Structure 1
Amino acid sequence: MVIISKPLFYEKLEPTIKCRDLVHPDISSCTKANLKLCLEAFLPGVFYFYLPIHLLQVILDYKKINRKNFLKNLLKNILRSESFGVTFGGLAIATICLHSHLSERLRYYTLLLLPGIVAGISIRWEHPRNRQLNTILWASLVVEALFKNAYYFKIFTYSPIKETLIFMLVSSSLMHLFINRDKKQIPFNLWFYKPSDPKKYKFTLYNYFREISKYFGFGYGLNSIRCVLKDAKMMFKSPLQFIRKTAFNRSNLKFGIIIGLYVGLFRGVSVLLQKYSNLEKANAAIAGLVAGISYYIEPNMTILTTAVVTVLQILCKQISTIPEFRKIPFTELVFMFCNGILFFNRIVAPVTCPKYYTNMLQITANGELEKIYIRLVNKYLP
């Protein structure tokens, strides 16, 4: 895939090029083109992308569902997601067109970065729970993109040892924040292990190995679900082969071992430090550092990015409790800027863009947003 650098962009794209050349070559009117895209591409695309997600939420929350208003709430949530997705695509296209009309020429950063940020405003349509989940996910994708770009453009070379050391430091900070902060300052997050205070933990070998087994099972099960989602068709075509492939998948076992060993190391070291040292406030940080060694078994970008984002979440939560910052909509602002970075990354350097974001754009826009990149490369950057 072609990487669109800033010098290449200005060298190949003439100042006379407008939005019609890149976004809607078949329709001269920006308004008509946007309406057509919203109705024929974004509306069905968003429905196909979000319907399975809503059905999965129904399955996970079936015990909490109010059966009396079940259909009403489900339709309401689907409509909110539709509004979010369609507005997302519409705002991105409208911003590109507006920029084209107001500026003398298309600019490298504002052509894509600005539309991505403006499109992020659409998150306000979503349900508060989904709004929070999307923001966490987008932030994780940005962290993943930063690592991929750093490796691809050789800002620093990849090494399992280096990545493990980074994870150990992040893990140390995260465990320190979990143990030594007020519970009210710990926001909803996707980190798999929320440690209890070592003082309140009753250590016995039975409790210790039971906890390790529990988290091994959690890691193994979680990775198995990911395998199911990746190759769901095989489940129907060849059930026995699918079960064998999933149950004895080496990646699933390794992921379970990473999670189980992480918890085992953290719990074991924190108990020993509690018993034999006076470094009470530093116990969690030291135990988290040692527990991070488990990452070396099989470096996993999902674990690393989730840890980084959770640290940032907690720090943002602490900032938001300061009276001067309480009215700032951190969730929406973070989503907007993360989306700007990801949208820019997808078009300028698609090889380093996280697969989830690429697939999301492909499905929700029926490939229409992807055509911007195709036109740029095929027509102007051959």
Structure 2
Amino acid sequence: MVVLSKQLFDEVCRGQTCQQIFHPWSKTCCGVLPRAFKDSVKGSLNFYSLVYLVQLAMQIKHFKSKAMWMKMGKYYCRSLMFGILVPFTFIIWNCFLSQFGIKLSYLTSLLLPLTLNGLNIYWEPPSRRSLVVHLFFNQASSNIDKRSSNFNQCSFRGLVEYWLRLLSEAGYLNITKSKNIIMFMVGSGLLFYMMRLEGAKPREQKTPLLWLYTAEKVNRNLENPKKTCSHNGPCQKYILKGYGTYFGIGLAISLAKLILPSIRTPLRAISSIRGKHFKMALFFGSYIGRPMLPVSEEWLRLGTVRVACWLPRWVVNGVQPQSRAGYSVGYWSYEVIFNGSLRKKGDT
């Protein structure tokens, strides 16, 4: 996706015909419909197939009956219809207006048709609409310029980063490495806290999340404050299981990215494995697996912050600083994994 400002669109496209802008390969609006429909179907299949495959892999344990598979298939067809209609009706709308002599403008060619396209979300079932909104919002927010406050640049990054850079350029905010770490910690803490609150809701009230890790719900065990962990069995076994699971997932992704492009020469690809290829595995294991880590009073006195099974005790005791877990884990992972790997060459 590309962000296009009103000023740039008006400068380039004002006075042009729909044939010059939207379908230069066809001189007539009717001739563009077959190709537009084909491209819309292809794009919708590519987008939603990946989304549903990821969801299926994450929730495979719930698909034990034929009814669940039929329900998933029905949802998939409705999502495909939504994905097809959004781009297809966009071109139809512009061709329709051009037939009445309405010239292209930012309002009639982008803002109004894309706003009306939002009505197509009703093709999605109510339980999935919030997930679709999140996906499309993330796509839009990832397309904001990363280098300056000018929207007309060709390189883009997140919406939040855009506003932070805008404030920095205006002199209101000075972004440093320490502040980046703090922001990551705060965001991480809020994310895990909200995910844990979602886990405590009834299934029909939960917000659909496309997320690798399902956080344990907050356990408010007031009857036995010494046993506030959300898991069964020893904490050590729970820690190793979580760390090993997500370490393996991260390692599998890293090795797949390395080996699959060179599948014809697997030995050469395997021999090119280096320590840097374990960074994602370490991050997955530490950042996702480490919220399970317990803490003892001796470790705290030694200054080694290890978080997780003690987190619910803060809630039971009425303190409720749940986000400290995310802050601590976020700081550890950012400093050890990302901060070193993202340094530019020559930095000290």
The TM-score with structure 1 as length reference comes to 0.57
Q: Distance in 2 between matches of 1:47 and 1:299?
A: 34
Q: 1:169 aligns with which of 186, 190, 193?
A: 186
Q: Higher mean Cα deviation, 252-261 or 98-107?
A: 98-107
* 1:224 shift after superposition: 3.9
* 1:73 shift after superposition: 6.9
Q: 1:183 aligns with which of 189, 201, 206?
A: 201
Task: State whether residues 179 and 196 of structure 1, in contact with CA within 8 Å, keep that contact through their aligned partners in structure 2.
Answer: yes
Q: Higher mean Cα deviation, 253-262 or 122-131?
A: 122-131
Aligned length: 292
Residues 165/97 of structure 1: CA separation in 2 closer, same or farther (3 Å cut)? farther
Superposed, which structure 2 residues align to 1:73-152 within 5 Å? 79-98=77-96, 100=98, 105-108=103-106, 111-126=109-124, 131=129, 133-145=131-143, 148=158, 151=161
Q: Distance in 2 between matches of 1:81 and 1:246?
A: 41
Residues 64/124 of structure 1: CA separation in 2 closer, same or farther (3 Å cut)? same
Residues 218/28 of structure 1: CA separation in 2 closer, same or farther (3 Å cut)? same
What code does the residue aligned with 1:216 have? Answer: Y
* 1:62 shift after superposition: 7.5
* 1:102 shift after superposition: 6.8
Which residue number in structure 2 is paired with residue 196 of structure 1?
Answer: 218
Which residue number in structure 2 is paired with residue 296 of structure 1?
Answer: 334
Q: Higher mean Cα deviation, 259-268 or 228-237?
A: 228-237
Which residue number in structure 1 is paired with residue 343 of structure 2?
Answer: none
Which residue number in structure 2 is paired with residue 212 of structure 1?
Answer: 239
* 1:23 shift after superposition: 0.3
Task: State whether residues 95 and 118 of structure 1, in contact with CA within 8 Å, keep that contact through their aligned partners in structure 2.
Answer: no
* 1:296 shift after superposition: 1.9
Residues 119/246 of structure 1: CA separation in 2 closer, same or farther (3 Å cut)? farther
* 1:89 shift after superposition: 2.0
Q: Distance in 1 between matches of 2:332 and 2:130?
A: 29
Q: 1:258 aligns with which of 283, 287, 297?
A: 287
Task: State whether residues 17 and 106 of structure 1, in contact with CA within 8 Å, keep that contact through their aligned partners in structure 2.
Answer: yes
* 1:253 shift after superposition: 2.0
Task: State whether residues 224 and 246 of structure 1, in contact with CA within 8 Å, keep that contact through their aligned partners in structure 2.
Answer: no
Q: Higher mean Cα deviation, 42-51 or 85-94?
A: 42-51
Q: Does 1:155 align with 2:166?
A: yes
Residues 295/162 of structure 1: CA separation in 2 closer, same or farther (3 Å cut)? farther
Q: Distance in 1 between matches of 2:9 and 2:62?
A: 54
Q: Distance in 2 between matches of 1:135 and 1:246?
A: 39
Q: Distance in 2 between matches of 1:53 and 1:3?
A: 23
Residues 48/186 of structure 1: CA separation in 2 closer, same or farther (3 Å cut)? closer
Task: State whether residues 198 and 270 of structure 1, in contact with CA within 8 Å, keep that contact through their aligned partners in structure 2.
Answer: no
Which residue number in structure 2 is paired with residue 368 of structure 1?
Answer: none
Task: State whether residues 223 and 255 of structure 1, in contact with CA within 8 Å, keep that contact through their aligned partners in structure 2.
Answer: yes
What code does the residue aligned with 1:267 have? Answer: A
Q: Does 1:284 align with 2:325?
A: no
Higher relative contact order (CA 8 A, sep 6+): 1
Deviations 1:258-282 (A, max 9, x none): 223344344266367469xx5x152
Task: State whether residues 163 and 299 of structure 1, in contact with CA within 8 Å, keep that contact through their aligned partners in structure 2.
Answer: no
Unpaired segments ≥5 residues, structure 2: 145-156, 169-174, 222-226, 294-305, 340-348
Q: Distance in 2 between matches of 1:288 and 1:102?
A: 57
Task: State whether residues 262 and 294 of structure 1, in contact with CA within 8 Å, keep that contact through their aligned partners in structure 2.
Answer: no
Q: Aligned with 1:162: secondary structure?
A: helix
* 1:201 shift after superposition: 1.9
Q: 2:250 aligns with which of 211, 220, 223?
A: 223
Which residue number in structure 1 is paired with residue 41 of structure 2?
Answer: 43
Residues 233/294 of structure 1: CA separation in 2 closer, same or farther (3 Å cut)? same
The TM-score with structure 2 as length reference comes to 0.61
**Structure of larger gyration radius:** 2
Residues 155/98 of structure 1: CA separation in 2 closer, same or farther (3 Å cut)? farther
Q: Distance in 2 between matches of 1:250 and 1:100?
A: 53
Q: Higher mean Cα deviation, 210-219 or 143-152?
A: 143-152
Task: State whether residues 290 and 308 of structure 2, in contact with CA within 8 Å, keep that contact through their aligned partners in structure 1.
Answer: no
Q: Aligned with 1:111: secondary structure?
A: helix
Q: Aligned with 2:106: secondary structure?
A: coil
What code does the residue aligned with 2:330 have? Answer: G
Unpaired segments ≥5 residues, structure 1: 301-382
Deviations 1:294-349 (A, max 9, x none): 3523459xxxxxxxxxxxxxxxxxxxxxxxxxxxxxxxxxxxxxxxxxxxxxxxxx
Task: State whether residues 54 and 78 of structure 1, in contact with CA within 8 Å, keep that contact through their aligned partners in structure 2.
Answer: yes
Q: Higher mean Cα deviation, 286-295 or 145-154?
A: 145-154
Residues 68/190 of structure 1: CA separation in 2 closer, same or farther (3 Å cut)? closer
